[in-house]
Structure 1
Amino acid sequence: MKVCAWPFEMMGKILELFCGRNNPKGLENEVGETKKIQGTVVLIKKSILDFNDFHASFLDKVHEFLGKGVSLQLISASHGDPDKGLQGKLGKAARLGQWITTIAGITAEDTAFSVTFDWHESMGVPGAFIIKNHHHSQFYLKTVTLEDVPGHGPIHFVCNSWVYPAHRYRYSRIFFSNKTYLPCNTPEPLRKYREEELANLRGNGTDMLKEWDRVYDYAYYNDLGSPDKGKDHARPVLGGSKEYPYPRRGRTGRARTRKDAKCESRLPLLSLNIYVPRDERFGNLKMSDFIAYALKSLVQVMVPELKSICDKTPNEFDTFQDVLNIYENGIKLPHGTTLKKVRDCIPWEMIKELVRTDGERFLKFPMPDVIKEDKLAWRTDEEFAREMLAGLNPVIIRCLQEFPPASKLDRKIYGNQTSSITREDVEPNMNGLTVDQALENHKLFILDHHDALIPYLRRINTTSTKTYASRTLLLLKDDGTLKPLAIELSLPHPQGDHHGAVNQVYTPAENGIEGAVWQLAKAYAAVNDSGCHQLISHWLNTHAVIEPLVIATNRQLSVLHPIHKLLHPHFRDTMYINALARQILINAGGVLEKTVFPAKFALEMSSMVYKSWVFTQQALPADLLKRGMAVPDSSYPNGLRLVIEDYPFAVDGLEIWSAIETWVTEYCSFYYPTDDLVQSDSELQSWWTELRNEGHGDLKDEPWWPEMHTRADLIQTCTIIIWVASALHAAVNFGQYPYAGYLPNRPTISRRFMPEAGTPEYVELEVDPDRAFLKTITSQFQTLLGVSLIEILSRHSTDEIYLGQTDNPLWTSDAEPLEAFERFGKKLIEIEDRITERNNDERWKNRNGPVKVPYTLLFPNTSDKSRAGGLTSKGIPNSISI
């Protein structure tokens, strides 16, 4: 039945008359004429199907009927009120119209409302507005546009913020126009508003934060464990100590645990309502995508049932075809396991997405790229080595500088940790080269996971994990590809760490028991690389180190500040995905601990690595030079020459880095024509000081931090931040499912040691090497768990915003930065074309490899306007958003 809206509108007008809303009080003493300014407000109403507040839409209409609507009040940027410390004069409040007649959709969608302001010509130009929401529920305010301000023309406000009911705030919600100002250039009438808004975002450092709070503050990683459940559930606090240094996370203010006052209590496992400022949470579309694909993981609620299913098979893959079946056919439920049994574990609404309509098959996954063209090519030595240059973790391999490989571990504690690999082990396979010749000509390389693991290996191996620390030596061949020369597997000395390591060296072999042993040696090295990738390259070096930057930027840089405008797009969703990670992935007993070899020592181990983290070495050129993968050469772009010409991550990455650096240079040079402006920028200096002393406070005394005294310091800093948050994260995240979705290629756990001659395990390896391989690496249950997780993490959201794109072309009113950004986008499209050309050029063998998977992880995807999302294996999102 259609309901007529006019009685509601009429009642609203009557109430306005009684309340004096049309009385131009405050303007009668002004000299001049009052003008009508027409405006358009674009917002997203709270969905009528929002299960958190089903009656929101109805109650909002009641509030409108009672005259409690949404009002906006313009603030002058050019005329101050002497009675209010010269803060900008306020215009008369204008009410948003047509709320009652505009129905909230079942799905979130933009809704435009008209608004009319009375604006006296003596008030000058509006520069901000106050909005008051007297409804029952919140809405997402996208933009406000003033169509024709007298003497000025249109003014745009890009808001992109949730506005809660006014009683939820202790202050007025204020939004500024898309003007950009350094603190010293801020119009005086807006200065105090600017300062107060930053103070509101900092909060008071106390109280448990609620969803409507807009507070950015710091905390240690003290929420990973649940000590109240017992010692097995406790985890050390990361951050705030020399023993366990760590970047800071966002504060929630939750109560401390009963048994450990240093630890913060945790939410129920399935809760997604962990506090981050509301504007940092996923948008409606992305949240829908995330939940839909997260249903495939299910492990948080049905681990017991899943495990019992796997145990009945039993908990092993017997053949590689069994592994392939989870992509081709799915997992068949064992006899006697009914859908009712599965449905008893979780609601049917959550499980129906995962099971065919006949209920026969369960957990079917997309085919990973690495086995699409060839089911066996992943096992070749060439592909094993190529993925160190063009796989999901291409940031660890380094050029060997000394032989045998040395260790940086303290000899007083760990004894002699020098490698046992000898010239006799490797020179017969070096195509006529000697070790010294190869070193001199930059032809020896190493994938080194020794020093990071040795201090933890004894404890790790007390769990169900049975693994080694590894060193893998490789030779650069004349065709530009790498071939493995030796793999060293090391264990702590049984008589104590100070006795050094017990090493075993393995060399390539193709057939017989030697070939089977070599395949296992590569698997142990891959296990190390998988764990270090997930914990260090991915989590620590992108997610964790960027979160303090998100916090510091919102606390110290106003939305009017040019550096806030530059960096803000690169922080989208990062705090929330990190909060979700702490809730269900990296917490005690979480998915990461269940699927990656360091188990309960995982995050603690990453803390040890953070001790040697250096901000300036996160720049790609500095990283390549540090690893010896490039040498200084002024005749090459970026002033360096790659020692492996066909290094896809570095080749594509350097082009992306250069494009980012050029864009940042042009942008910063517009606002900071001199170094003096950098030094005198109070907000910028506070931002940088707080980031060092608070956000990365455990490393605050390190000498390598840029001083932030010059424009060059600023450009370097912003380029690194954007590179890490966009391209570096893309390179180490979105290759997860294409390469590791097939777990035998990238096993994450080893469950038994290398078989020794004379043991039943050795006989099994001789008789059935494939089965022995599968019994050594990640189990069936862990595979289902791990593949479910990385399928979610490898997907691009359908609302993704890629590098070189923006969600609003009016993000600033300054023409030169807009033109520079347009050039940046065009440059990225040119890079896309060159990447495609290189992938199609058969000279570059590392770009496709035996598995025939082109390297597209640093393909910007700027030219693709469809934003289809999914497992595309390409595209650089603006931010760490998944």
Structure 2
Amino acid sequence: MSFENASSIIASHTITGEAVKRGASDPSLPQNDTPEQRAQRRAQINATSTQYQWTTDIASLPGVPLATHVPPDDQPSIEWWFKVLEVSIAILENVKAVLLKPIYSGLDDAAKTIIDDALADAGEIRSKVEALREKHRVAKAGPGLESSIEEAVQGADIEELKSHDSALRDILTVIIDVLKAEEAAHSRSIEAYRDLYQTLPVPGIAYTFQDDDLFARLRVAGPNPMLLQGIDRMPDNFPVTAAQYASVMGDDTLARALADGRVFLCDYTDLEVLVAGVWKGHAKYVYRPMALFAVPPGGSSLKVVAIQCGQDNSQYPVMTPSDAASEKWGWEMAKFVVQVADCNYHELFVHLAGTHLVSEAIAVATRRNLANVHPLWSLLVPHFEGTLFINNLAVETLINKGGPIDDFFGGTIESSQLAAVQARLAFDFYQKMTPVDFAARKVADPAILPDYPYRDDALLVWDAIHDWASQYINIYYSDDEAVTADSELALWASSIASEGHIVGFRPITSRAQLIDVCTMIIFTASAQHAAVNFPQRTLMTFAPAVTGAGWTAAPTDQTGHDKGEWVEYMPPMSLGLLQLSSLELLGSVYYRPLGDYRTNRFPYKPWFQDPVITDDEGPLARFQAGLRAVEARIIARNQRRMHPYVYLQPSQIPTSTNI
């Protein structure tokens, strides 16, 4: 297919003057084109590069390569906006109901007036959104308008929805700010935190979070299943004794467990970059604890063995599980210290740095180096839908000064930003490939660690994506020589490594390597992000279970503490509501599942156009069938598991990092 024909197809789908692209109908490699076509490809890439430019000067994430702005092609669809606004309105309805509870009866008249006015504005916005939703529903069901008129109307609707979203966020900010100012009136208790859910369902973890087995299970099926590592010797600075181990594990011995490979560690030493912050005159705390786990002989699930609240054993002694009245609450405090550390590691290292920011670098490099008739352009671009937009929004409203991370996380905002920057710039592309990562962390063997739902389900999805990438790439690359002859591919790989600052990314010299690279890119943007994003709603909205800061210093002994002291570790109620609202939104928007490839503009036409890919028995159909098989297998697994793990069911995995 010629460049002119490709251009005519692209030009037929426009919105407010900008191209709305689809995958090429006849993709080609540059070495197979005529000199004239190669020149046209280069001209198109150069033109696109004016829209997609790099910067490392974003104040919130200094040094991280990001897009300078969000081009029109990367703006979300109207369908996405409706999903976001639906969740946002539900959150504000919950906030409204919470404000009717007695805990907020102490608000003065001025505060009540501000909140009443804000909620009235939210009600008006809800009515306008419902009107737009009905308009769009009718447009989809009725006879089509002329394409250009339809798209122009939709473009105006998107801008209106965008303004409503901004207004709703401002309204929530106003309400939370009022509640922060009145914080002294709000007493903390576990029941009060549960009462923050009025019209939203209370997550199950709100009733089970003190259970030691659940605490252990979160390392393999929680928001951060990426830190646990097998060890064969105890760290010198974490001197768990044989007697302490036996007090938890009974007849098992520490020496035997280490020799068998049944001992596992979560070490939060990388949080050293965080500098403890202050909120409204109250000190916040975040530590670098160490937590030890083991699988009993013949067992399947982890058990928590010991916790040390810091890296220095002379300051923070080893603590072990205990129900004794004198030791119980010290143990609960130690678990809370770990949960705070895990929340910081999850959000800054695993979630933001390891998915959002990695995908953005590859997205920008793809747009700048691959022609839109290149087969990899068609394969990868759908997996970047919405990423530049949502990352830009996070930079402006989430990890900024005065944003939620600044408020309810333990570090100063500058140190939290630095943690994300360092994690992103240290991300090693090949070492983070899912099978490689499991092997490196010594958690790959199901005979040693049988109960690891994230590992087992992730490998199913990884293999399905790998099969898809293999079938797709082998169609367009006849052999390894075709890979090394691809000049655009070479520039793309070089750009990812140099301009994108992705550690370990290197020249691609074979089809097998290219298949692995594409699998990693697709998995990171879809499944990996789903695994670390969607637990935010079910496991992280309830602050006593997981939160970003402690509000008193870590205990230096296990004895002599009570329940009241434990509750004082938890955040102020207004920040508990802010955490709930923020993470409810981030963990509730499911937009376009993996394998559903369509454009991001109404009427959402199929993305792939090459008949070789879209044939009834072609690679796309096989990929979709493979995902259905994975779904069925995970559902069957969950029927056997004591606790279902749903985050990697393909129907629950969005195609891209778009929230």
Normalised by the length of structure 2, the TM-score is 0.81
Which of the pair is proportionally richer in helix? 2
The CA deviation at 1:784 is 0.9
Partner of 1:788: 581
The CA deviation at 1:793 is 0.3
The CA deviation at 1:787 is 0.9
Query: Once the two structures are superposed, what CA deviation does each residue of 1:172-197 show, in whole Å capped at 9, x if it has no partner?
Result: 99999522111123366644433222
The CA deviation at 1:289 is 3.3
- Alpha-carbon contact 1:675-1:710 (below 8 Å) kept: yes
- The alpha-carbon distance between structure 1 residues 831 and 663, as it changes in their structure 2 partners (threshold 3 A), is same
- Alpha-carbon contact 2:276-2:412 (below 8 Å) kept: no
Query: Once the two structures are superposed, what CA deviation does each residue of 1:373-423 show, in whole Å capped at 9, x if it has no partner?
Result: xx53221101110111111211111112321x25xxxxxxxxxxx223333
> Does residue 470 of structure 2 align to residue 656 of structure 1?
no
- Alpha-carbon contact 1:457-1:468 (below 8 Å) kept: no
Partner of 1:878: 655
Partner of 1:420: 239
The CA RMSD over aligned residues, in Å, is 3.3
> Does residue 512 of structure 2 align to residue 712 of structure 1?
yes
- Alpha-carbon contact 1:660-1:722 (below 8 Å) kept: yes
The whole-number CA distance in structure 2 between the counterparts of 1:835 and 1:792 is 26
Q: 2:400 aligns with which of 582, 587, 594?
A: 587
Partner of 2:157: none
Q: 2:201 aligns with which of 367, 373, 381?
A: 367
Trace 1:56-71 onto structure 2 (pairs within 5 A).
none
Partner of 1:752: 552
- The alpha-carbon distance between structure 1 residues 463 and 442, as it changes in their structure 2 partners (threshold 3 A), is farther
Tell me the SS of whatever aligns to 2:310. strand
The whole-number CA distance in structure 2 between the counterparts of 1:585 and 1:714 is 35
The whole-number CA distance in structure 1 between the counterparts of 2:103 and 2:470 is 53
- Alpha-carbon contact 2:597-2:607 (below 8 Å) kept: no
The CA deviation at 1:489 is 1.0
Q: 2:264 aligns with which of 442, 445, 448?
A: 445
Q: Please identify, of 594-603 and 578-587, the stretch whose mean Cα deviation from structure 2 is larger.
A: 594-603
- Alpha-carbon contact 1:201-1:216 (below 8 Å) kept: yes
Tell me the SS of whatever aligns to 2:327. helix
Q: 1:184 aligns with which of 20, 31, 46?
A: 31
Partner of 1:617: 431
Query: Once the two structures are superposed, what CA deviation does each residue of 1:454-500 show, in whole Å capped at 9, x if it has no partner?
Result: 354577999721232111111112331211111001167xxxxxxx9
Trace 1:81-230 onto structure 2 (pairs within 5 A).
126-129=5-8, 144=12, 159=13, 162-164=15-17, 178-186=25-33, 190-203=37-50, 215-224=51-60
Tell me the SS of whatever aligns to 1:376. helix
The whole-number CA distance in structure 1 between the counterparts of 2:70 and 2:35 is 32
- Alpha-carbon contact 1:743-1:783 (below 8 Å) kept: yes
The whole-number CA distance in structure 2 between the counterparts of 1:174 and 1:821 is 19
The aligned length equals 580
The amino acid that maps onto 1:470 is P
The whole-number CA distance in structure 1 between the counterparts of 2:329 and 2:579 is 25
Tell me the SS of whatever aligns to 2:299. coil
Tell me the SS of whatever aligns to 1:195. helix
Partner of 1:545: 358
Partner of 1:646: 451
The whole-number CA distance in structure 1 between the counterparts of 2:120 and 2:220 is 44
Rg larger in structure: 1
The whole-number CA distance in structure 2 between the counterparts of 1:754 and 1:176 is 54
> Does residue 320 of structure 2 align to residue 512 of structure 1?
no
> Does residue 612 of structure 2 align to residue 815 of structure 1?
yes
> Does residue 652 of structure 2 align to residue 859 of structure 1?
no
Query: Once the two structures are superposed, what CA deviation does each residue of 1:707-765 show, in whole Å capped at 9, x if it has no partner?
Result: 3111122111111111111111000001111011222111221010145689xxx97x4
Partner of 2:488: 683
- The alpha-carbon distance between structure 1 residues 197 and 653, as it changes in their structure 2 partners (threshold 3 A), is same
- The alpha-carbon distance between structure 1 residues 623 and 188, as it changes in their structure 2 partners (threshold 3 A), is same
Unaligned 5+ runs, structure 2 = 127-167, 176-194, 599-604
The whole-number CA distance in structure 2 between the counterparts of 1:184 and 1:824 is 28
The whole-number CA distance in structure 2 between the counterparts of 1:351 and 1:778 is 32
Trace 1:264-283 onto structure 2 (pairs within 5 A).
275-283=69-77
The CA deviation at 1:587 is 1.3
- The alpha-carbon distance between structure 1 residues 692 and 162, as it changes in their structure 2 partners (threshold 3 A), is farther
Q: 1:804 aligns with which of 595, 617, 623?
A: 595
The CA deviation at 1:590 is 1.5
- Alpha-carbon contact 1:202-1:216 (below 8 Å) kept: yes
The whole-number CA distance in structure 2 between the counterparts of 1:333 and 1:220 is 47
Partner of 2:377: 564
The whole-number CA distance in structure 2 between the counterparts of 1:573 and 1:757 is 48
- Alpha-carbon contact 1:706-1:717 (below 8 Å) kept: no
Which of the pair is proportionally richer in strand? 1
Query: Once the two structures are superposed, what CA deviation does each residue of 1:239-259 show, in whole Å capped at 9, x if it has no partner?
Result: 1xxxxxx3x1111xxxxxxxx
Tell me the SS of whatever aligns to 2:382. helix
Trace 1:373-452 onto structure 2 (pairs within 5 A).
376-403=207-234, 405=235, 418-449=237-268, 451-452=269-270
The CA deviation at 1:448 is 1.3
The CA deviation at 1:370 is 2.3
The CA deviation at 1:511 is 3.5
Partner of 2:165: none
The whole-number CA distance in structure 2 between the counterparts of 1:369 and 1:630 is 30
- Alpha-carbon contact 1:804-1:824 (below 8 Å) kept: yes
Partner of 1:779: 572
Query: Once the two structures are superposed, what CA deviation does each residue of 1:488-533 show, in whole Å capped at 9, x if it has no partner?
Result: 01167xxxxxxx9733211111141311111111111111001110
The CA deviation at 1:162 is 3.2
- The alpha-carbon distance between structure 1 residues 446 and 193, as it changes in their structure 2 partners (threshold 3 A), is same
- The alpha-carbon distance between structure 1 residues 402 and 162, as it changes in their structure 2 partners (threshold 3 A), is farther
The CA deviation at 1:441 is 1.2
The whole-number CA distance in structure 2 between the counterparts of 1:292 and 1:825 is 28
The whole-number CA distance in structure 1 between the counterparts of 2:382 and 2:42 is 22
The amino acid that maps onto 2:488 is E
Tell me the SS of whatever aligns to 1:369. coil
Tell me the SS of whatever aligns to 1:129. helix
Q: Please identify, of 546-555 and 740-749, the stretch whose mean Cα deviation from structure 2 is larger.
A: 740-749
Trace 1:280-291 onto structure 2 (pairs within 5 A).
280-291=74-85
Tell me the SS of whatever aligns to 1:664. helix
Tell me the SS of whatever aligns to 1:603. helix
Unaligned 5+ runs, structure 1 = 1-76, 79-86, 89-125, 132-140, 145-158, 166-171, 204-214, 225-236, 240-245, 252-274, 299-305, 310-324, 407-417, 493-499, 632-640, 849-853, 862-874
The amino acid that maps onto 2:634 is I
Partner of 2:272: 454
Tell me the SS of whatever aligns to 2:430. helix
- Alpha-carbon contact 1:293-1:792 (below 8 Å) kept: yes
- The alpha-carbon distance between structure 1 residues 350 and 552, as it changes in their structure 2 partners (threshold 3 A), is farther
Seq. identity, %: 26
Trace 1:759-770 onto structure 2 (pairs within 5 A).
765-766=561-562, 769=563
The amino acid that maps onto 2:243 is E
Partner of 1:726: 526
- Alpha-carbon contact 2:497-2:506 (below 8 Å) kept: no
The whole-number CA distance in structure 2 between the counterparts of 1:726 and 1:628 is 24
Query: Once the two structures are superposed, what CA deviation does each residue of 1:211-245 show, in whole Å capped at 9, x if it has no partner?
Result: xxxx0011114332xxxxxxxxxxxx621xxxxxx
The whole-number CA distance in structure 1 between the counterparts of 2:458 and 2:224 is 13
The whole-number CA distance in structure 1 between the counterparts of 2:31 and 2:341 is 52
Partner of 1:487: 307
The whole-number CA distance in structure 1 between the counterparts of 2:286 and 2:57 is 27
